[in-house]
Chain A
Amino acid sequence: MSVWIDSLLAVLAVFLAVRCLLAPTLPQCVFLFFAFGLALALAWARLGAVDVAIAEAAIAAGFLGVLLIDALRDFAAPRTHGETAQKPHFLTQVLLGAGLVVFLYVALEAVWNVPDGGGLTALAADNLPRSGVDHPVTAVLLNYRSYDTWLEVGVVLMALLALFATGGKELFRRPVVGAVDPLLRQVILFFTPVLFLVGAFLLYLGKTEPGGAFQAAVLWGAAGILLHLGGWPVFAAMPRWTRQVLLTAGFGFFLLLGFIFMSGGSALFEYPVAYAGVLILIVETLAALSIAAALTAIFAYFNGMKAASVENEIPDPS
C-alpha cells in the first residue's frame, strides 16, 4: 500500500514540475510551483526527513510563494511566455545543457554510491553525546558542519543587502497602500502570537527532535510579513540601529564565537563540550531572529517597491 502512495507522490512531483515549466501563463506557473513545493514536502515527510519537509513547505512553498504572488501583481496584464521570452543564444543553450547533464550525473552518482553503513552516519551518532544536542540533524547543522549553516545565514543577509543596493532603502519605509480590511487585521492579530509560539516551540524542539532555527525563522518571518500586510510595518518602523542589530546578530554572534574559540587554540566553530548545548541554543535563537528579520525586510522592501510603482501609475482598483 505504502509503495503505491510513494509511487503516486513521485509521479505527482515530476508531473507538477513539468507542468510548472510548461505552463502558458505566469499565474499558472506560480500556482503549479506551490503545488510542486507541497508535493515535495510530502515526499520529504515520507522519507522520514521531517526537518526538510517543514523547511520545504515553509520556505519554498510559503515564503517564496508570497514573494512570487507579490511579483505577479507587477505582471497584471495578461502576458504569455512566448511574448516576453527571447530565444537564448546558441552558446547559452549548449552551456546550460552541459551543466544540466553534469549535475544529473553527479546526483545519480551520489545516490548510487552511498557507502555501506550510510557513510558518516555512524561517526555522527558516536559523537552525539559530545555535540551538546540530542538530535543528529541539529548536531550536524550547528556543531559538526556549523560552517555551512553560518554561511546560509549570511546568504539570507546578502540577499537583503543586494535588494537594498538595487533600489535604495527609502522605499523600505513606505506604508501599505490603501485601507486594510478590518477582518484581515483581526485574523492577523489572532495568528501573530500563535505563529510566535509555534516558532519558539520548533526552535527549542530542534535540540531533541526535528525542528530548528530555519523552521522557526520562517514562522517568525511569516508573523512579521502578516503584520506588515495588516498595516503594522513592525520591522520597518523600528529605529535604524535596532534593525541593524537584529539583522546581523545571528551572523555576527556565530562569527564572534568561532573566532573566540579559534583564539583559544581550537578549530573554527569547535565548541567546548561542556557549553556546547547552551551555545548552540543561543546561536540558534539569534540566527532564527536574524533570518526572520531578513525575510520580513525582503518582503517589506518588495511591497514598498510595489506601493511606489502604484503611486506613479494607476490607482489601486479595490
Chain B
Amino acid sequence: MTPAEIVTVMLLVAGCFFFLAGTLGLLRFPDLFCRLHALTKADNLGLGLIALGMAVHIASPWAALKILFIWLFTLMASSTSCYLIAKFQRGRAPKPSEASAE
C-alpha cells in the first residue's frame, strides 16, 4: 500500500463514520431540529472527507477541482434546504421542543 492509498482509506472511513453518525441521529433524535443538526453534520463533514479522499485517490488537479465544486454546491444546497425546513417547522409549531418530525 502506498502512502496515498493509506490516506485515501483513512479519509473514506472517517467520512463514512460521519454519515453513520448522521443516520443514527436521524433515526434516534427526538425532534426535527435535532435531526436536521445530525443530517447537516453528515453532509458537511462526511461528504467533505469522502470528497477529499477521492481527490487524493484520483490525484489529478482538474478532477480535484471538480470534486471540490461538487462538495461546495452540495454544501450550499443542503444548508439552504436545512434552513428552509427549520424555518417552515418554526412557523408551524411555536415551541420547537414539542415539534416532532412528522
Spell out A's residues near B (CB within 8 Å). Answer: 27, 181, 183-184, 187, 190-191, 194, 317-318
From the candidates A184, A191, A317, name the one contacting B91 in the complex (CB within 8 A). Answer: A317
Contact mask for chain B residues 73-90; partner A; CB cutoff 8 A; 1 contact, 0 none: 100110010011001100
CB-CB under 8 A from A318, the residues of chain B are 87-88, 91-92
Q: Complex formed: what's the CA distance from A318 to B88 in Å?
A: 7
From the candidates A184, A190, A317, name the one contacting B92 in the complex (CB within 8 A). Answer: A317
Q: Tell me whether B84 and A184 are in contact (CB under 8 A).
A: yes
From the candidates B73, B80, B91, B92, name the one contacting A183 in the complex (CB within 8 A). Answer: B80
Q: Complex formed: what's the CA distance from A27 to B102 in Å?
A: 9
Q: Which B43-102 residues have C-beta < 8 A from chain A?
A: 73, 76-77, 80, 83-84, 87-88, 91-92, 102
CB-CB under 8 A from B92, the residues of chain A are 317-318
CB distance from A310 to the nearest CB of B (A): 15
From the candidates A27, A181, A187, name the one contacting B76 in the complex (CB within 8 A). Answer: A187
From the candidates A184, A194, A317, name the one contacting B73 in the complex (CB within 8 A). Answer: A194
CB-CB under 8 A from B83, the residues of chain A are 183
Query: 18 A-B pairs, CB-CB below 8 angstroms?
Result: A181-B84, A181-B87, A183-B80, A183-B83, A184-B80, A184-B84, A187-B77, A187-B80, A190-B76, A191-B73, A191-B76, A191-B77, A317-B91, A317-B92, A318-B87, A318-B88, A318-B91, A318-B92
- Nearest residue, chain B, Cβ from A190: B76
Q: Complex formed: what's the CA distance from A317 to B84 in Å?
A: 14
CB-CB under 8 A from A191, the residues of chain B are 73, 76-77
CB-CB under 8 A from A190, the residues of chain B are 76
- Nearest residue, chain B, Cβ from A318: B91
CB distance from B9 to the nearest CB of A (A): 13
Q: Complex formed: what's the CA distance from A191 to B91 in Å?
A: 26
- Nearest residue, chain A, Cβ from B102: A27
CB distance from A119 to the nearest CB of B (A): 35
CB-CB under 8 A from B87, the residues of chain A are 181, 318
CB-CB under 8 A from A194, the residues of chain B are 73
- Nearest residue, chain B, Cβ from A194: B73
Contacts A181-B84, A183-B83 known; list 18 others, CB within 8 Å.
A27-B102, A181-B87, A183-B80, A184-B80, A184-B84, A187-B76, A187-B77, A187-B80, A190-B76, A191-B73, A191-B76, A194-B73, A317-B91, A317-B92, A318-B87, A318-B88, A318-B91, A318-B92
